[in-house]
Amino acid sequence: MSWLPAPRVFLAPGLILILVAIGGRFTLDRAGYTDLAWVDLRVAGLLVALAVLLVDISRRPRPLVTQDRREGWLVATLLFFLFQIASGLWAPAASRVGPQTLDLVLMGALVLIFYLYAVGDPETVVRTAFLLFYLAAIVFALAALFINGPGEQGRYSAFGGGPNVFVRIEILGIISAVALALFHRRLLPLLATPLFGLAAVLSGSRAGLLAGAAVGAVALFKIRRRLHPGAIAGAFAFVAVAVATIAAFAPPAFTSLFQERFVEQTVQERYLSDRTDIWAAAWRLALEHPIAGAGLDGFYGYIGINQFVEYPHNYVLGVAAEGGLIGIGLLTAAVLLWTTTVRGGGLRPQLTGLAVAAAVFVGLSSLFSGDYYDSRLAWLFAALAAAAAAVPARVPEEVPA
């Protein structure tokens, strides 16, 4: 009997796909080439990734064990995206159907391609993904601190992205640091977490920090019985050192941003960036179009264009307003089927749990900010978690002597 090595996937598809996911909407005019503003690097990146992935799939050996994978969540997700695209047919005239359709097509392609990539070797892909997000969080944090600096509101971000996207990269960096520490059984990756924490606070994103804290609290609650007093004491000591490090090396703007954004606006003034008014408008639109919604980008077409609001700043409310009960039904089906797939951790509990934590964090953040395309990292980590939970490990095969 001989153990055949598990097929190792190419690194290139994953690297390109994660760059596309992190990069957001990037056209060449952002790089200074105004004449080439029509060139969307997301399209180019996905086409290159797909070409390399097809080569990768062709070289994979046939599975030694056939087992039905639970992929109903993926079917429901793609149907949900297709319905959103189709809803552009009844959207109001002022809606930006073209750009929104492109976003949804690219997001659906990103999720599908990344899942097909991950099923080739879930363990390798998940580990590599966390490593790449860890490195990305370092690059983004350093760029925000030393290159881009604070924006008009004193909030930090990097590479032209908004603070609410920036904070997601940094919190995902913290999750990735924990993942790498667990994978390698070393504390070295955790040394970058003070940098990630500082950058996250400097983003000024209250919702992102709250979502990160919620996911962290749930994770600690789940492993509470496995925590030893020594580990708890060490964690508190590390947090104390991290806070002291942040206080010592934080830029002067840190104190003023923290005081204004988190103390004065949030605690004293209870300022929520007009979110409640925006959500109320989205809810009214959902009630006015209960079955199929107002159509793709209908919130902007009916409300936002007059009130200078781009989108509802809540993923679920946006779906309800623009997709109605049909859209909410498809989204609910996708989430429930995915939850069934990853429940209990499946075949790789540790990998699945970490990917689920990342997906849930971005999902929670999407309830407070961002449009449909800004949720792409939640869907990407959902695909990783599903692959880790449902794809069976390779088994030994009898080899003739």
- Nearest residue to 361 (alpha-carbon basis) of 156, 176, 123, 148: 176
Rounded Cα distance between 20 and 23, Å, is 5
Structure tokens at 220: 């600690």
Q: Report pLDDT for 275.
A: 82
d(CA 206, CA 308): 22
- Beta-bridge mates of residue 156: 150
Q: What is the pLDDT of residue 18?
A: 93
Residue 257 has pLDDT above 80, yes or no: no
Q: Residues 52-75: pLDDT tens digits?
A: 999 988 887 665 444 566 789 999
pLDDT score, position 140? 95
Give me the percent of the chain exceeding a pLDDT of 70: 79
Report the 10 Å Cβ neighbour count for 62.
5
What is the average pLDDT across 231-253? 67
CA 231 to chain CA centroid, Å, is: 29
Mean pLDDT is lowest, of 207-211, 324-328, 373-377, for: 207-211
286 pLDDT band (50/70/90 cuts)? Answer: very high
- Taking the C-alpha atoms of residue 381 and residue 200, their distance in angstroms, rounded to an integer, is 20
DSSP 3-state of 210: helix
Answer whether 232's CB lies under 8 Å from 178's CB. Answer: no
| CA-wise closest residue to 125 among 135, 115, 134 | 115
Confidence of residue 377 (pLDDT cuts 50, 70, 90): very high
Taking 60 as the threshold, does the pLDDT of residue 297 lie above it? Answer: yes
For residues 348 and 122, is the Cβ–Cβ distance under 8 A?
Answer: yes
The full DSSP string for 272-337 is -TTHHHHHHHHHHHHHHSTTT-S-TTHHIIIIIHHHT--S-S-HHHHHHHHHHHHHHHHHHHHHHH
Whole-prediction pTM: 0.88
Environment class of residue 3 by beta-carbon count within 10 Å: exposed (0-12), middle (13-18) or buried (19+)? exposed
DSSP 3: P
Quickly state the pLDDT bin for 231 (edges 50, 70, 90). low
Closest CA to 210 of 140, 272, 143: 272
Count other C-beta atoms under 10 Å from residue 241's C-beta: 11
